Amino acid sequence: MSEEALENIEDVLAAHKLSVADYRHIKKILGREPNLVEIGIFSAMWSEHCSYKSSKKYLNGFPTEAPWVIQGPGENAGVIDIGDGMAAVFKMESHNHPSYIEPFQGAATGVGGILRDIFTMGARPVANLNSLRFGDIDGDSETARYQRHLVRGVVEGIGSYGNCMGVPTIGGEMSFESCYNGNILVNAFSLGLARADEIFYGKAEGVGNPVIYVGSRTGRDGLGGAVMSSDSFTEESKKLRPTVQVGDPFTEKLLLEACLELFKTDYVVGIQDMGAAGLTSSSFEMAGRSGSGMIMHLERVPAREEGMTPYEFMLSESQERMLICARKGSEEAIIEIFRKWDLEAAVIGEVTDTGRMELFWHGEKVADIPVDPVSEEAPILDRATSRPAYLDEIAEITIDDFERVPNQEAFEKMIACNEVVDKSWVYEQYDSMVQTNTQKHPGSLDASVIRVKENGKALAMSSDCNPRYCYIDPFKGAALAVLESGRNVAMSGARPLAITDCLNFGNPENPEVMWQFAKACEGIKEACAEMETPVVSGNVSLYNETNGVSIYPTPAIAMVGLNEESNRVLPSSLQGENNRILLLGVTKGVFAASLYMKELYGTIGGRLPDIDYAAEARLWQFVVEANEEGLLESAKDVNVGGLAIAVAKSCALSGIGADIELSFEDERWVFDETPSRAIVEVKEENIAQVAQKAMNLGLNIVSIGRSGGDRVRINDIEMDMTSLRDIYFGTFKKVVEQDL
């Protein structure tokens, strides 16, 4: 055993983000002093990014089971049954810190990483979404210019990787708040399809079975990435570019095809992507899931650079790499498959029954660590929580505290804001039609939809979160994110089935942030349980703060739903002239943390209403069933900006005007954001049936106008279609390209 004397142990621990208590614990586990390789391994595996040490306490108790769930949290991705022997495999991950430091590569490798999580399970990726948060992009300040640079870099990185892989990016969301000025969020979602009985898992079992490294060679890129992602930002952080991985989508495309070819054989016992913490996390996770041990000879790992050390091999986060546990005797056949695809493949070790990870370097043992304690004894922190004082300061704010603004003026301001306008500048850089299965493409509003050729069904998916809601009430805000994402899916005619989440929060060492996190988790648990949409996979991203300023709580939720007939996908924009427009649900005058309050008064505050899950369930059921019966022409949920913005977006997208008249107790309520509402477009001959169906379900329904014409009118608001479409489709490009 190599005994590297560790001098200046305090400095070594500080560099690896380990405490003195951690060090004592490591010595107890090993029964001796650790060497540098072992310190590096413990540092990576016990980082926030890999161990969830601050969050694990609150993640326990998420609803994770349902008759359609095949695999819940704990594997590379979640899996649900979508009928006829087919399964959908999906997950969402964050790549926040790398994308702020180096936007192109950070975002690109975020896409690459999530795609590997999907095809590692044996699924071919068929759809990507993204959930993006940026700071202030308006104006000529240094901050705004930098944020626009980040927008352009991130979008280019996402497009570049996804397009090269031949996986369509079919939708997503993007919003802007000043809290993201120092810490943007880049959350990537991917979904793949597989046979339900051909799912592969990340395990290493069977004594003597070979451990095979495949994919790209290992370099020094990404060293310290997992640890970097587990720390806050300062001005020094921009110097951390070496910790950002460099992606090669062309290699990953080869890796995808090689893996899918391999999966047609019976050679694979288990397979794991090398993501954060690289070879360390993949080997320990595979052995840990199986209760086995492993021997690895690190000099056999294909290297991209000269003079690499065992420490660097174990902690590199070079992209496009996998670790395979194979059946003994299949080694040459596997190597041949990867050689055919011009990829590296090398037998680097074997499975043992010792329960230990034994690492060798040219015959010398350089690490010997029991597997279980690395994951099972990772610190689980019970961090202090404290309700933020600011909540009391903002709770009583209402729109009545401010001078009234005429509805026309309010509408003109809100329809042109970056949160509302069409983001075609973004999605036109993504190939959304490759694979030719996209039915509801980017910019179509609400959910995005792909058909499943194998069973004639369609999968709808949507990512959503309103950070302003979460800022004023993390519990209700997170619950509403589940409902909004599910409502989007229902608006396409699909039944919501399950979620994956990406929980983005500030510094967990701040008790107020931990309180926000705990409450958001409770909100997700309650909403998922009430709506029968279990959590099947997810990710936690903490330390999203810069110079002590935390982001708003941002628990991004991606919902996946199933439409039994791919030819019954419901649009979210108006479809014809002289159809009736109906409002579903009850309007209660909710302006807490609304777009109206932000855009008109520069304020975020108020109290969110109690959540009526039964009302939400009735809305979903109504739209899904009415669509199955062919009663609806289109459906659009009412969300940010209220009824006025929902109608305007539906009109702008279709090019068809609308004439809306309805009475509220306050004329400003056309902008209210009461949840559990939608507008539906119905042909005259179907009105009676639609009304009866709503009544049977106890759902409030009212006729508010008709489609058609060359203008949009909503009570005292009016705009011609030409002006509306110019604003809606032309604004974002002007903003984001003004520096070029």
Other Cβ atoms less than 10 A from the Cβ of 97: the count is 28
Q: Of 25, 95, 97, 297, which is the active-site residue?
A: 95
Average pLDDT, the chain: 94
Report the percentage of the chain scoring pLDDT > 70.
96
Separation of CA 421 from chain center: 22
CA gap 593, 469 in Å, rounded: 6
Residues 6+ apart with CB under 8 A from 119: 125, 192, 256, 259, 260
CA gap 48, 182 in Å, rounded: 20
Q: What is the pLDDT averaged over residues 379-391?
A: 94
What is the token pair recorded at 138?
């308006």
Annotated catalytic, 95? yes
Lowest mean pLDDT among 47-56, 456-465, 507-516, 697-706: 47-56
Q: Tens of pLDDT along 487-545?
A: 999 999 999 999 999 999 999 999 999 999 999 999 999 999 999 999 999 999 999 99
Annotated catalytic, 49? yes
What is the token pair recorded at 675?
């949840």
CA gap 507, 128 in Å, rounded: 29
Q: Which three-class secondary structure state does DSSP give residue 577?
A: coil
Q: State the pLDDT at residue 376.
A: 80
Asked whether residue 615 carries a pLDDT value surpassing 90, the answer given is yes
Q: State the pLDDT at residue 125.
A: 96
CA gap 148, 608 in Å, rounded: 32
Asked whether residue 129 carries a pLDDT value surpassing 60, the answer given is yes
Asked whether residue 433 carries a pLDDT value surpassing 60, the answer given is yes
In terms of phi and psi (left: phi > 0; alpha: psi -120 to 50; beta: otherwise), the region of 175 is: beta
Nearest alpha carbon to residue 174 among 142, 202, 134? 134
Whether 697 and 690 have beta carbons less than 8 Å apart is answered as no
- Residue by residue, what is the 3-state secondary structure of 225-276? HHHHCCCCECHHHHHHHHHCCCCCHHHHHHHHHHHHHHCCCCCEEEEEECCC
Q: Which residues pair with 218 in a beta bridge?
A: 303
Report the percentage of the chain scoring pLDDT > 90.
86
Separation of CA 637 from chain center: 21
Q: Tens of pLDDT along 327-361?
A: 999 999 999 999 999 999 999 999 999 999 999 99
Whether 176 and 133 have beta carbons less than 8 Å apart is answered as yes
Q: Of 16, 25, 49, 297, which is the active-site residue?
A: 49
Q: State the pLDDT at residue 236.
A: 53
Asked whether residue 2 carries a pLDDT value surpassing 80, the answer given is no
The residue with tokens 């810069």 is 546
Q: Tens of pLDDT along 243-271?
A: 566 778 999 999 999 999 999 999 999 99
Q: Please report which confidence band the pLDDT of residue 662 belongs to, taking 50, 70 and 90 as the band edges.
A: very high
Q: State the pLDDT at residue 302.
A: 97
Amino acid present at 690: V
Q: State the pLDDT at residue 223.
A: 77
Q: State the pLDDT at residue 245.
A: 64
Whether 358 and 367 have beta carbons less than 8 Å apart is answered as yes
Separation of CA 156 from chain center: 18
Q: Please report which confidence band the pLDDT of residue 233 belongs to, taking 50, 70 and 90 as the band edges.
A: low
The 10 Å CB-count burial string (b at 16+, else e) for 214-237 is bbbbbbbbbbbbbbbbbbbbeeeb
713 or 3: which leads in pLDDT: 713
Asked whether residue 307 carries a pLDDT value surpassing 50, the answer given is yes
What is the token pair recorded at 43?
């540092």
Whether 252 and 272 have beta carbons less than 8 Å apart is answered as no
Whether 249 and 114 have beta carbons less than 8 Å apart is answered as no
Q: How far is CA 478 from CA 156, 371, 469, 557, 640, in A?
A: 30, 35, 8, 8, 15
Q: State the pLDDT at residue 586.
A: 97
Asked whether residue 239 carries a pLDDT value surpassing 60, the answer given is no
Asked whether residue 241 carries a pLDDT value surpassing 50, the answer given is no
Q: Tens of pLDDT along 453-497?
A: 999 999 999 999 999 999 999 999 999 999 999 999 999 999 999
Q: State the pLDDT at residue 527.
A: 98
Asked whether residue 235 carries a pLDDT value surpassing 90, the answer given is no
Lowest mean pLDDT among 53-57, 523-527, 581-585: 53-57
